């Protein structure tokens, strides 16, 4: 079974721009969660989608948004990028309790 | 407020010996606990999990122990191998068995760097 895939793997953007990241979950998994990893804050939960609905949201500003499609694929969008948004963005899919992570997208904001 | 804490930033162990990684939590709603292994610039790899209705779970060389009264869990790796060298994260979630639900949200500790020397 194929694992979680994320595209792109690396991205460089300029402050003020917006970015869209994509995540394809493991086949059959309907829940997709997004996390941000930075050296200072560790792994922080952004939001979770299930059956195209956001069920849970972390403590991030409204510039961070997401959506899920009918095939369970998910996208997250960050608008008006700030330097502090530079991070590894991880998505994870789950069927029951365990979450399985993708390789992440490394976003650098200059 | 850090609800999941790994107080040891690093641990160094000789190959063949036991590695013990520790994790403490404060939120009584947490009822499901997981351990992940992570290499730089990669996503975390799931290792083992335990529900709050159990106090021990084994999978090969990995055993997780849960002490609910102390709000403490530990991961034992026996025997340790050089390939086990990585950052280990414990994570917790509230799946409804302890009165709260946090759909799809894992709360992570800060991680412990494990180095296994040949």
A23–chain B Cβ distance below 8 A for any pair = no
Q: What are all long-range contacts of A80-84, with beta carbons under 8 Å and residues at least 24 apart?
A: A80/A16, A80/A18, A81/A13, A81/A14, A81/A15, A81/A16, A81/A17, A81/A18, A81/A19, A81/A109, A82/A15, A82/A109, A83/A15, A83/A109, A83/A110, A84/A109
Residue B104 has pLDDT above 90, yes or no: no
Cβ–Cβ of A99/B45 closer than 8 Å?
A: no
Give me the pLDDT at residue A19, please.
98
Strands A10-13 and A105-109: parallel
Q: What is the mean pLDDT of residues B67-88?
A: 97
Cβ–Cβ of A92/B45 closer than 8 Å?
A: no
User: Binning pLDDT at 50, 70 and 90, where does residue B100 land?
Assistant: low
Best mutation target, A24, A30, A42, to test chain B (most B CBs within 10 A) = A42
Give me the pLDDT at residue B96, please.
66
Give me the pLDDT at residue B2, please.
86
* Residue B17 three-state SS: coil
Write out chain A residues lying below 8 Å of B113, CB-based.
none
- B29-77 residue pLDDT tens: 999 999 999 998 789 999 999 999 999 999 999 999 999 999 999 999 9
Provide the mean pLDDT of chain B. Answer: 93
**Residue ranges in chain A modelled with pLDDT below 70:** 1
Residue B108 has pLDDT above 60, yes or no: yes
Give me the pLDDT at residue B102, please.
72
Residue B97 has pLDDT above 70, yes or no: no
Sign of CA dihedral A40, A41, A43, A46: negative
Q: Spell out where B1-118 has E strands.
A: 4-5, 10-14, 19-25, 32-38, 45-51, 56-59, 62-67, 72-77, 86-93, 107-108, 112-117
Beta bridge partners of B14: B117
């Amino acid at each position: 079974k194929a694992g979680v895939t994320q595209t792109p793997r690396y991205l460089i953007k300029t402050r003020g721009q917006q970015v869209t990241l994509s995540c394809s979950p493991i086949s059959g998994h309907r829940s997709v969660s997004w996390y941000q990893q930075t050296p200072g804050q560790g792994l922080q939960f952004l939001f979770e989608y299930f059956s195209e609905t956001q069920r849970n949201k972390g403590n991030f500003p409204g510039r961070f948004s997401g959506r899920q499609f009918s095939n369970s694929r998910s996208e997250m969008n960050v608008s008006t990028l700030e330097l502090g948004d530079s991070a590894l963005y991880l998505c994870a899919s789950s069927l029951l309790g365990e979450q399985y992570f993708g390789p992440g997208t490394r976003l650098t904001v200059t | 407020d850090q609800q999941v804490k790994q107080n040891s930033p690093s641990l160094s162990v000789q190959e063949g010996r036991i590695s013990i990684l520790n994790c403490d939590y404060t939120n009584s709603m947490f009822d499901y606990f997981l351990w992940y292994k992570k290499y730089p610039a990669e996503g975390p790899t799931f290792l083992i999990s335990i529900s709050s209705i159990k106090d021990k779970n084994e999978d090969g060389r990995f055993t997780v122990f849960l002490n609910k009264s102390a709000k403490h869990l530990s991961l034992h790796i026996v025997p340790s191998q050089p390939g086990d060298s990585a950052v280990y994260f414990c994570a917790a979630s509230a799946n409804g068995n302890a009165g709260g639900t946090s759909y799809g949200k894992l709360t992570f500790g800060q991680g412990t760097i494990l180095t296994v020397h040949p």
